[in-house]
Chains A and B, each alone.
Chain A
């Protein structure tokens, strides 16, 4: 498992998260390298959260939002797309391959598409190789858990 890439998927509650759930219900097979983090909308995702994921050492990032025009919050996914683009520009400046992050659009009914996206990104990141910022296997899992804890805390703060 040590050489396997680790990918963090920021998934919108209204589409990609449900699609990932559906992929499971459909018993679809896809690589187990993807850790899913649920967001209320991809527009919740700021550039610094995506950078923080790379700083903690993940090898790739998936941002998965609703189909364009189908955002629960009207245009959250369009804003997210611009932020992902800015993150890609920053990664290029830093010296990391921008291809390590990509935004995808899908509906909650597309369990198959979620599995395809996961496979696509795992294949791509395998070609690029492990992130030079990646810590050891145990550490990276902890780092991803920590990102998840921070996200939960942030969402709890929002609900207050």
Chain B
């Protein structure tokens, strides 16, 4: 799941203050689950923004609210298409993909991010989300006992822990488990520690962000003209 959290109210006010009619658009998928951008959070932010703008003597800026099922898919954005001409700006409470999907669909309307997209992660406990995947495009969890050294090791090491590992904790933060300690413990439990006797070659980072914007194509599912779209 993509995890995000809300930007501070003054920052959002600063983005929208020069517009007259602003539509807050929530997303019903990942950011609803991580309690950042679903219907309830849109309601809270809408109320907070209207009050903050009035306190800045900008009460003439109207802020309306809506939430669509999924901001990252054009078919769901169709629902917004009729309403958007009434507004001169959109503030998206979707992840970065949602913000850009809206921006692509409505080229003449400024679209501002209301959230800071954080990472792909899982629910650790109620109200706590943890990063688990960096989306490097070349998954090697099978080699590392199911624990990702790219995401879980602060230095992204592939051949064991650095000198900063102390009592199973990372030097970056005392609460942060050393990724390589976790890999070692799990591998020991699985009886595959001998796997780490060979040197792991460097990672091919070209499948990650270093390779530029990525694309996944499933030709068997493609409709030709849509697939050719940039």
Interface presence of A146 (CB below 8 A): no
- Asked if B44 is an interface residue, CB under 8 A from chain A, the answer is yes
Judged by DSSP, the binding face of B is: helix
- Total cross-chain contacts (CB, 8 A): 38
Residue in A48, A54, A94, A132 whose CB lies within 8 Å of B43: A48
Given A51-B47, A51-B48, A94-B52, output 4 extra A-B contacts at Cβ < 8 Å: A51-B51, A93-B48, A94-B9, A94-B48
A128 close to chain B: CB less than 8 A: no
Mask of B46-76 contacts with A, CB within 8 angstroms, 1/0: 0110111011100000000000000000000
Taking the closest CB of chain B, its distance from the CB of A88, in whole angstroms, is 12
> What interface size band does chain A fall in?
10 to 19
Q: Does A152 contact B (CB under 8 A)?
A: no
A90 to B47: give the CA distance in the assembly, Å: 10
Q: Kindly state the separation between the CA atoms of A19 and B10 in the bound complex, as whole angstroms.
A: 40
Q: Which positions in B face A, CB cutoff 8 Å?
A: 8-10, 40, 43-44, 47-48, 50-52, 54-56
Q: Does residue A55 face the partner (Cβ distance < 8 Å to B)?
A: yes
Across the interface, A90 reaches (CB within 8 A) one of B43, B48, B54, B55, namely B48
Instruction: Tell me, in angstroms, the Cα distance from A47 to B48 when the chains sit together.
Output: 10
Cβ of A136 within 8 Å of any chain B Cβ, yes or no, is no
Lowest 8 A-B CB distances belong to which pairs? A93-B9, A51-B47, A94-B52, A48-B43, A95-B55, A48-B44, A94-B51, A55-B47
A46 neighbours in B (Cβ, 8 Å): 40
